[in-house]
Chains A and B, each alone.
Chain A
Amino acid sequence: MSDMWITMGPQHPFSHGLWTLKIRADGEIVQEAEPVIGYLHRGWEKECENRTYPMIIPMADRLCYSASMTWSHVYCKVVEEAMGIELTDRAKYLRVVADEICRIQSHLMWLAAMGTDLGNLTVFLWSLREREFFLDLNVKLCGQRLTTNYPRIGGVRNDMPYYFERDCLRAVDRFEKMIWELVAMMDESAIFLSRMQGVGIVSRKDAANFGLTGPTMRGCGVDFDVRRDDPYCNYDQLEWDVAVCNDGDAYGRYKVRIEEMFQSCDIIRQAMAKLDAIPKTEPTRVKAPRRVPEGTHFARVEDPRGESLMYLVSDGTDKPYRLKVRSPIFVNVSASKHLVKGVRIADIPAIMGTLDMCLGETDR
C-alpha cells in the first residue's frame, strides 16, 4: 500500500470534540500528522470586550464543559488581581474545594473517554457512575452540574449549604474505595498495559519545548504544578504531593491523572478541616468595585488539563479592553504532530486520549 492521507475528524469517534487530525499513513504506520482546529471558534475573546466584568463569569464557565469551575476561577482571579482585592480565607478554601471537585470529575470524564478509545465500555460506564457523585456535590454547592457559575469577583457566590461537608467527605471516602475497582481492572489487564506502555513517549526536554502543561507534562517527568510553585488560594497551607511520573509514555500520563485524583481527595479533606476552623460568620465574598483600574494583569490556575492563564488589559472602564485566554489544550494539541509520528493508527486514540482534549477552550 502506498501512502495515503486520512482525515480523522471532525466527526470521528476518537476526536472528543470537533477537530481534525490529518495523517499520512503508510499501511498502519503514521508518517506525518497535522492537527486542524477551529471548528468551534465562536469569538469568545472578542465577545468579552462587550460585556461588563461580572457578565463574563458564566461565559468563562462555558470554555470547557468539564472544567468550568477552574475557568471561572482563573477569570475571577485575574480581575481580582487587577482590582487589588484580597479574598477572605473562607472564600479561598471554598474555591479550593470547588476546584478539586471539578478536577476529580474532569479526570473521571477523561478516564471514561479513555475507556471508549481503547474499546472498553465498562471503564466508560463505571467512570461516569463515580463522576455522578461529584456532579451531585456540584449541584449541592451551586445548583448546577456542569456550568457551575460559582466563583464571583471577590469571593464565591454562596457559602456551603447545610450538610455539604458531610456529603462531600462521604463522596470522597466512597470514591477512594470504589476507584480501586476501576484502577485494578485497567492495571491488571495485560492488554491495557500493552496498549498504553511505551506509546507516545515524550522526553522531559520535548515536554518543555512543546509547552505541555498539567498532567501531560508531569507524566513526562517535569515536576511542576502551579498550585505548588505559584500558590494561590492558600494551596501552600495544605499538605499534598505533586504526582509525577518519569516514564513519559501514555501509561505515565494515565498514572499521573489517577494519582492526582487521590491527591485531590486529600486536599478536599484538609480544606474541609480548615473551613471548620474558620468561623461561619466570615464573609465568603468581599465587595468589588465596578471599574477596574487601567493596567495589564495575568493570572494562572492549575486546570485539570494543564495551566490555564488569562491575560487582561483594562482601560479603566467596566469592560475589559482585551481578555486573552491561554488554553492548555491549544498548546498540547500542537504537540500531537510529534506525538503520533511513527506510531500505528491504533495507537492514535491511546495517545490523543491521554492529552484529554477539550475543544471549547481550544477554539474559544
Chain B
Amino acid sequence: MPYSSIREWVTWSEPINSPYGVFNIPYELAYRVWELIGGTLAWLINLIFPGNSLSEYLAFDQTFASYIAIAIMVIVIFAVAFVINLTMIWQERKVLGRMMDRRATRIGPLGYLQCLADGLKTFLKENIMPEKADKKGYMWALVVLIGTSVLIACMIPLSSRWFVVDYNTGLLLIFGLFAIAPFMILVAGWSQNNKYSLIGGMRAAAQMVAYEVPMLLVLASVVLLAGSFNINDIVYAQMETTWYILPLFLGFIVFLISAIAESERIPFDLPEAEAELVEGWQTEYSGMKWGLIMLADYFRGYVACALIVIMFLGGWTLPFIGDGPIPELVFLLKVFMVFFIFAWVRAAHCRIRTDQILHFGWKVLLPLSVVNLVIVLAIMLAGGILW
C-alpha cells in the first residue's frame, strides 16, 4: 500500500453511539481527542505495517471509539473539577487574606500556583503510619473518603451540556455519597490508635446527627416544589417560575448552615478542632495523605456550594435570559459567590462546641426546616409559584 496522508486517518467524524443521546461537551471533547490520538496511532502503525486491520480498527471503529471516549472524558471531567477546586482554595486564601489584613498567596500569577507548591510540599514529606494503627481502617477510610468526595465533585453538572450522569435520582445520589464522609471520619479516627483522633471521630458522628436531618428536610421541600430529583428539572423549574431562594428563604438559611457543617468548615470543624484536639481525626495522617484530605475537604466544599446554587439560585440559568451563551461560567460564578459566604463565615466566627451544635441542630434548624416544608406545602396547595 502506498504512503497515506494522516488526513485519511484523522477523520473528525460526528460521534455516533453516544451514550448520552444529547449534546455533551466533555464527551464531544473526549471523542475528538480520541480521534486525534487514535488516528495518529493508526497512521503510524500503517506506515510501518501497511494494510493491517488494527489501524482500521483504531481509526474507524465507532463503538470502540465511544468506549475510549468515555475513559478520556473521565480525565477531562476530573481535570476541570480539580481546577475549580484549586481556584476555590485560591479564592478562600485571597478572601481570608483581605479580611484578616494580611498577605495571602504569593506564588505564581496572582498567587494562583500556591496550591501546587503546597501539593508538592506535602508530596515530598515523609509518609508515616502509626505502628499500632488498624491498617485496613486507616487506609480504606481515607480511600473511601477521598474517593467519594472526588466522585460527587465530578458528578456536579456545570450546565445542561456539561454533565456526567443525568438521571432521575441524581440529587439523591449526590446527597447519599455526600453523607458517607462523616462515617469514614469516624472509622479513620478510630483506627489510628490516637486519643485525639478518636475523640475527633466521635465528634464527627455526633455532628452528623445534628445537621443531616434538617438538610434532608430542606432537600425534600425543594424536590417537592420542583417535582423531581433530576438536577436539570430542578434548574429549569426555577427558570420557569423563580429562584427558590425567594419562596424558600428559610430553607436556604437552614441549608447554608447545614452545608457549612457538612463540609466541616469553621464554625463547625469540631472533628479537627486544632486548639484542643491537635488536628482531630487527621492527627496521624501525614504527608500526601494529609494533602489529599485537605483537597477532599475543598471538593466537598465545592459540592456544598454547587448544591446551594442548583437548589436555590437557579443553577446555570439567569432570570429573563435563560441558559445564555456560556452557562458553565454563570454556574461557576454563582458557586464562587456562595463560597465567598463560606469564607466570610470562616473569617468571622469561632468554633462551636459539640453539645451546642446538637442543641442548635435539633432545637433550631430542625423546627425551621419543618416550617420550610409547611411553606412548600402551602405553595403547592395554592397551585404552585405564581408570578
B269 to chain A, nearest CB (A): 7
CB contacts (< 8 Å) of B102 on chain A: these are 125
Q: Is B16 on the interface with A (CB-CB < 8 A)?
A: no
A119 lies within 8 A of B353 (CB): no
A346 lies within 8 A of B99 (CB): no
CB contacts (< 8 Å) of B351 on chain A: these are 118-120, 191, 195, 346
Quick one: closest B residue to A129, CB to CB? B101
Which one of A6-14, A101-109, A233-241 is at the interface? A6-14
CB contacts (< 8 Å) of B199 on chain A: these are 25, 28, 345
B376 to chain A, nearest CB (A): 28
A-contacting residues, B269-293, CB 8 Å: 269-270, 273-278
In whole angstroms, what is the CA distance A189 to B345 when docked? 11
A119 lies within 8 A of B354 (CB): no
B-contacting residues, A119-167, CB 8 Å: 119-122, 125-126, 129
B278 lies within 8 A of A194 (CB): no
CB contacts (< 8 Å) of A348 on chain B: these are 276
A121 lies within 8 A of B273 (CB): no
Contact of B350 (CB < 8 Å), options: A12, A129, A195: A195
A117 lies within 8 A of B353 (CB): no
B350 lies within 8 A of A13 (CB): no
A194 lies within 8 A of B353 (CB): yes
B203 to chain A, nearest CB (A): 8
A344 lies within 8 A of B275 (CB): no
Q: A192-B350, A195-B352, A345-B199 are in contact. Are A119 and B273 (CB under 8 A)?
A: yes
Quick one: closest A residue to B355, CB to CB? A344
Q: A6-B195, A346-B273, A347-B353 are in contact. Are A122 and B348 (CB under 8 A)?
A: yes
Contact of A13 (CB < 8 Å), options: B96, B267, B274: B274
Q: Which of the four size classes fits the interface of chain A?
A: 20 to 34
Q: Is A31 on the interface with B (CB-CB < 8 A)?
A: no
B11 to chain A, nearest CB (A): 57
Contact of B276 (CB < 8 Å), options: A14, A115, A129: A14
In whole angstroms, what is the CA distance A27 to B199 when docked? 7
Q: Is B347 on the interface with A (CB-CB < 8 A)?
A: yes
In whole angstroms, what is the CA distance A8 to B195 when docked? 11
Q: Interface digits, A1-27 against B, CB 8 Å rule (1 contact, 0 not)? A: 100101010001110000000000101
CB contacts (< 8 Å) of B34 on chain A: these are none
A-contacting residues, B157-209, CB 8 Å: 195-196, 199, 202-203
In whole angstroms, what is the CA distance A322 to B269 when docked? 50
In whole angstroms, what is the CA distance A117 to B195 when docked? 19
B13 to chain A, nearest CB (A): 55
Q: Is A116 on the interface with B (CB-CB < 8 A)?
A: yes
CB contacts (< 8 Å) of B273 on chain A: these are 119, 346
A122 lies within 8 A of B347 (CB): yes
B347 lies within 8 A of A116 (CB): no
Q: Interface digits, A283-322 against B, CB 8 Å rule (1 contact, 0 not)? A: 0000000000000000000000000000000000000000
A119 lies within 8 A of B266 (CB): yes
In whole angstroms, what is the CA distance A191 to B146 when docked? 30
Contact of B196 (CB < 8 Å), options: A6, A185, A346, A349: A6
In whole angstroms, what is the CA distance A121 to B352 when docked? 14
26 contacts between A and B (CB under 8 A): A6-B196, A13-B274, A13-B275, A13-B276, A14-B275, A14-B276, A115-B350, A116-B275, A118-B350, A119-B273, A119-B349, A120-B266, A120-B349, A120-B351, A121-B100, A122-B348, A125-B100, A125-B102, A191-B267, A191-B350, A194-B352, A344-B353, A344-B354, A344-B355, A346-B351, A348-B276
When A and B form their complex, which 4 residue pairs have the shortest distance between CB atoms, in order from nearest?
A: A119-B351, A118-B350, A349-B275, A125-B100
